[in-house]
Structure 1
Amino acid sequence: MNWREWQNRQRLTELGDRFVSYVDEGDGPPVVLLHGIPTWSYLWHGLLPELAGRRRALAPDLLGFGFSDRRDGFDRSIARQAEAIDAWMDALGLDSAAIVAHDIGGGVALRLATLFPHRVERLCLMNSVCYDSWPIEAMLQFGHPGAYRKASASTTHALLRQMLKGGLASSPEPELLDGLIAPYRTEVGKLSLIRDAAALNTNLTTELTPLLPGIDAATLILWGEDDTFQLPKYAERLADDVPGARLVPISDARHFVMWDQPEIVAEQVAAFLDA
């Protein structure tokens, strides 16, 4: 499925003066898929159809990402994103859901599991931000308030493409890389992503550290062993701090573990959700 086909499947829900775009397919108990930076819900276009055959699978674009609200001048931090997902679930009538999350989406999921625990039935984290593991240097530079003046949208798009390629152990199809950053190839999209990067704040995960032992949702941690963005040592620490968490290291996989090892990830997630 190319990114335009994915976008055509998106629905829209208003949250006050903002809106969230999302894909919603399948029937049964809900599972919510949360992406990271610099991607959008298209990250999950390989996994979502697998899950939609057994559950109601939903993949939102976080605020300021993809084709959700990208207007300037609002908080895009993971604290605000967690609040927005809580409100979005409420708008859709979802009392709780299994949460599957990657990168900063994992930071959002950890905030949900600790501060909005009634929303999280099960928790699956993939190469997620946590503790003081983030933001990486490239995102710090990208999030400088003046960054949008220094490079055109096309130059920024090329830099993002290289960054994504570096997060994959395999040699991805060019169409995949282009699709993952398609919303940011315009000046509006570029500025929105810069604002997203400027909102990255390690304090918003370090403050959760004493709360992690209180997570009571069943937790699966899938981690690409060759990730140079979010190091495997953080997965081990999460597995120690979250009660009953099961860690599954995945070999021959970097940051984008769902693309380096799609069959293993799909099998692990499906078995976890069915348990």
Structure 2
Amino acid sequence: MTVDNAHVRRQHVKVNGTTLSYLSSGDSQGSPLLLLHGTFWSRVWQPSLPALGEHFRCIALDLPGFGRSEGELTINEASVPALAQTVLDAADALGLDKFSVAAHDIGGAIAQHLAVHSGRIKRMVLMNAVMFDSWPVPTVERFRDPAVREAVTVEELQQGRRDATRKAVARELTDDELDDYLSPWKSPARSRSWMAMAAAADNAYTLELVPALKEAAVPTLLVWGRDDGFQKIEFARRYVEEIPASGLVEVDGKHIPTEDSPQEVADAVVGHLRA
């Protein structure tokens, strides 16, 4: 990935003995915003980071075995509660006490878990995130089968990620952009980590949070690419109907709206977090 070093930097932090990578933007003394990914990686946040960094200390984390981070997830380590603990450990290592969180895809399940259980989330943004029983989608759910995970090669997983990435963005990505998105999965360890996350995907994690989310009423904004074929906007509309202190901003785009409407996503996030 070509990173504008004037606005976005790639940095690293040691968490539980593993070096985790993250994209950072903004003043290191600014109000912290931790950005999470799901079945993609921190790259999904990169288009909006320069604008977000004008207002916050942004940290777009790569989970272990994803993106540019070291390590490899097992299925147990890839469960939502386990990943939430990893995120809290990373926050501790980065010197964050209370912080806001923005989360995409399965990262949204992690964020909802943190909002309910950690007591450290000030405000939350869910961008085309999983919720209720919206997940796992069939292309992810099939990796619950150990035989599928055993049979899939790195090359086959790369092709699957290529197809999914194309479907996740409304505009046509350039060859360089697509290659950048796919670059982590050239690594067998990162391919296994992705399959572990897929195998651990379970909507019981989000369904069981609903009563506590209603009670906690953490100020939450849903920012949604309205043409998402993976996480349907109907789930976002249901969320704001059922969960107090939540609102929805719809933007042009599909599953990764930062690629289609980066400024609109950033403006919505800024407006919510500075309210």
TM-score (norm 2): 0.90
Tell me, yes or no, if the aligned pair for 2:16 and 2:89 is still in contact at 8 Å.
Answer: no
Q: Is the 8 A contact 2:32 2:100 kept in 1?
A: yes
Within 5 Å, give how 1:214-233 maps onto structure 2. Answer: 214-233=215-234
Distance 1:26 1:4, change over 3 A: closer
CA contact 1:212–1:241 (8 Å) conserved in 2: no
- Match of 1:169, SS state, is coil
Seen in structure 2, the aligned counterparts of structure 1 residues 43 and 203 have a Cα distance that, compared at 3 Å, is: same
Question: What secondary structure, in the 3-state scheme, does the structure 2 residue paired with 1:270 have?
Answer: helix
Distance 1:145 1:64, change over 3 A: farther
The DSSP-based 3-state class of the residue aligned with 2:21 is: strand
Whether the 8 Å CA contact 1:145–1:195 is kept in 2: the answer is no
Structure 1 residue 76 corresponds to structure 2 residue 81: no
CA distance in structure 1 between the aligned counterparts of 2:96 and 2:129, rounded to whole angstroms? 24
CA RMSD of aligned residues (A): 2.2
Q: C-alpha separation between the residues in 2 aligned to 1:178 and 1:3?
A: 15
Q: Distance in 1 between matches of 2:267 and 2:9?
A: 25
Contact 2:35 2:102 in 1 (8 A): yes
Q: After TM superposition, list the pairs within 5 Å mapping 1:126-165 onto structure 2.
A: 126-165=127-166
Q: What does residue 183 of structure 1 align with?
A: 184
AA in 1 matched with 2:46? H
CA distance in 2, matches of 1:187, 1:244: 42
Write the letter of the residue equivalent to 1:241. Answer: E
CA deviations 1:6-40 (Å, max 9, x no partner) are xx943333332444222233221011111110x11
Secondary structure of 2:35's aligned partner:
strand
- For residues 147 and 9 of structure 1, what CA distance do their matches in structure 2 show? 37
Instruction: Output the amino acid matched with 2:147.
Output: G
Cross-structure match for 1:256: 256
> How has the CA–CA distance of structure 1 residues 178 and 144 changed in structure 2, closer, same or farther, with 3 Å as cutoff?
farther
The equivalent residue for 1:87 is 89
SS at match of 1:46: helix
Distance 1:84 1:187 in 2: 22
Aligned residue in 2 for 1:272: 272
Percent of residue pairs identical: 34
Provide the residue aligned with 2:38 in structure 1.
Answer: 36
Shift of 1:88: 1.4
Q: Is the 8 A contact 2:10 2:24 kept in 1?
A: yes
1:170-195 CA-partner distances (Å, limit 9, x unpaired): 21222222222211122222222111
1:67-119 Cα offsets, whole Å, 9 max, x none, are: 32433545111211111111211222211111111111111111111111x32
Q: Distance in 1 between matches of 2:164 and 2:232?
A: 16
Question: Could you give the per-residue CA deviations for residues 231-266 of structure 1, whole angstroms, max 9, x where no partner exists?
Answer: 11110121122212111122x421112112222112
Q: For the residues of structure 1 that align with 2:164 and 2:11, how far apart are their CA atoms?
A: 29
Change (3 A) 1:15 1:2: same
Q: Which residue of 2 aligns with 1:110?
A: 112
Q: TM-score, normalised by structure 1?
A: 0.90
Matches within 5 A, 1:44-59: 44-59=45-60
1:80–1:174 CA distance, 2 compared to 1 (3 A) = same
Quick one: distance in 1 between partners of 2:226 and 2:191?
31
